[in-house]
Amino acid sequence: MRIGVFIIAAQFPGQEPGRVLADAVELVVAAEEAGFDDAWIAEHHFMSYGVCPSAITLAAVAAGRTARIGLGTAVSVLSTHHPVALAEQSAMLHHLSGGRFTLGVGRGGPWVDLEVFGTGLERFERGFGESLDLLLDALSGGPIAADGEFFRFREVPMVPEARMRPVIACTSESTVGLAAERGLPMLLGMHIGDAEKAALIARHGTAGGHIAAAVGYVADSTAQAVRELKESIPRWMGPGLAGYVPVDGRARPARDVGAYVDLLTRIHPVGSAEHCAEAILRTAKNTGIEHFILMVEGPGDHRRTVENVRRLGAEVLPLVRRAGLAGSP
C-alpha cells in the first residue's frame, strides 16, 4: 500500500495565490519528511478553489526540493493541453526527477477553460479518446505522427523520449471504459464512497494500480476533527466552486456545500489517529485499493496544515503499516 498527499493549492479567504503556491511546495517537503510515499498536485484555472494552473510545473519545483518522495499530477487536464507538449514536459520531469514522476490526466469539465485555451467543447466531448491515444503514443518511447479529427501532423521524434504509464481520473462510465480498454489505472475522486469505488473497479475489470483520493485530517478526537473541518472547509469551498463557469449556456450543477462537507467527514479519514487508520483500512478492504492520497489542506491555515501532515505521518501511517497492509517507504 502507498499513502500520499493530495495538494489542491486551495485559496482560503484572505490568502494570496503566490503564497498559497509557495506553501504547497512546503507541504510536499513536509510530506517527504513525514514519511508519505508520494504527493499529487491538482490543476485548476481561473478560480480560488485551486490556484495551481500547471500541476506539472509545481511538481518540477517540488522535485528540486525533495529527494525521495514520488510526485504526480492529479490531474493535468488533457482537454486543454496538447498531448504531445504534455508528454514532452512529462518526459523531462521523468528524467530530471530520477523517475519519481507519474503523470495523471483527466477529461476535465465543460468549463470556460476550453474557450480561453482554444481547444473547444468538441475536443472535451468527442476528442478525449483521441487525445489520450496520442499522449500514450508520445510516451511509448518512439517517433509519433497523427492523422485524426483533432490532431494531424507528420512523423516527428520525441525528444526527450520516455516510456511512461499515465493514470486517468475517472468520474464517468465513458472514461472508465477508455481506461479499461487501454489498461490504465484509475484515479477515483473524493466525492464517492466505497460502494461506488468498488463498482467502478468492477466496471474497469482490473483490480490493481488504482488510486483513491480522500480527505485526511487528524485531531485529538474524531468529534474535534469533524467540527474543525465543518467550520473551515465551507469558507474555501463555497467561493471556490463558483469558479466552475460553463463554456456554453448549460446550467452549472449546484452543490450543497454543507451536505458535501458532511459527506466528506463521514466517509474519509477525518478524526482521531485510530479513526483515520480504520477508515483507510476499511476502504482498502471494501475496494481492494492499495494507494490512497489524502487531501490535507482542510484546516485552511498553513501552519495547521503542516501540523496535520506531520501528525498523519507520525500517528496514522504507523497504524496502517502495522496492520500489515503497507510497507515503509
pLDDT in tens, 101-126: 999 999 999 999 999 999 999 999 99
Read out DSSP for 179-223?
HHHHTPPEEE-TTS-HHHHHHHHHHHT--TT-EEEEE-EE-SSHH
pLDDT grade for 226, boundaries at 50, 70 and 90:
very high
Q: What number is the average pLDDT over the span 164-188?
A: 96
Q: Which of 317, 82, 115, 137 lies closest to 216 in space, CA to CA?
A: 317
Owner of C-alpha cell 460502494: 195
Domains of the chain: 2-322 (3.20.20.30)
With H, G, I as helix, E, B as strand and everything else as coil, classify residue 159: coil
pLDDT grade for 207, boundaries at 50, 70 and 90:
confident
Q: Return the C-alpha cell found at 78.
A: 488533457
pLDDT grade for 324, boundaries at 50, 70 and 90:
low
The DSSP secondary-structure symbol of 242 reads: T
Read out DSSP for 27-72?
HHHHHHHHT-SEEEE----SSSS---S-HHHHHHHHHHH-SS-EEE
The DSSP secondary-structure symbol of 81 reads: S
Q: Which of 161, 156, 140, 164 lies closest to 92 in space, CA to CA?
A: 161
Cβ pair 286, 193 in contact under 8 A: no
Cβ pair 190, 215 in contact under 8 A: yes
pLDDT in tens, 232-272: 999 999 999 999 999 999 998 889 999 999 999 999 999 99
Q: Return the C-alpha cell found at 289.
A: 485499493
pLDDT grade for 208, boundaries at 50, 70 and 90:
confident
CA separation for the pair 17, 265 (Å, rounded): 26
Instruction: Look up residue 94 and give its amino acid.
Output: H
pLDDT of residue 253: 84
Length of the chain: 329
Do you find a cis peptide bond into 160, omega within 30 degrees of 0? yes
Q: Kindly give the residue spans of alpha helices, DSSP state H, lying in 242-301.
A: 257-267, 273-287
Q: Return the C-alpha cell found at 107.
A: 477529461
Question: pLDDT at residue 327 above 70?
Answer: no
Averaged confidence pLDDT in the chain: 96
CA separation for the pair 111, 55 (Å, rounded): 18
Q: What number is the average pLDDT over the span 132-139?
A: 98
pLDDT of residue 276: 98
pLDDT of residue 171: 92
pLDDT of residue 326: 43
Instruction: Look up residue 8 and give its amino acid.
Output: I
Q: What number is the average pLDDT over the span 51-59?
A: 98
pLDDT grade for 329, boundaries at 50, 70 and 90:
very low
CA separation for the pair 38, 98 (Å, rounded): 14
Question: pLDDT at residue 328 above 70?
Answer: no
Q: What number is the average pLDDT over the span 45-63?
A: 98
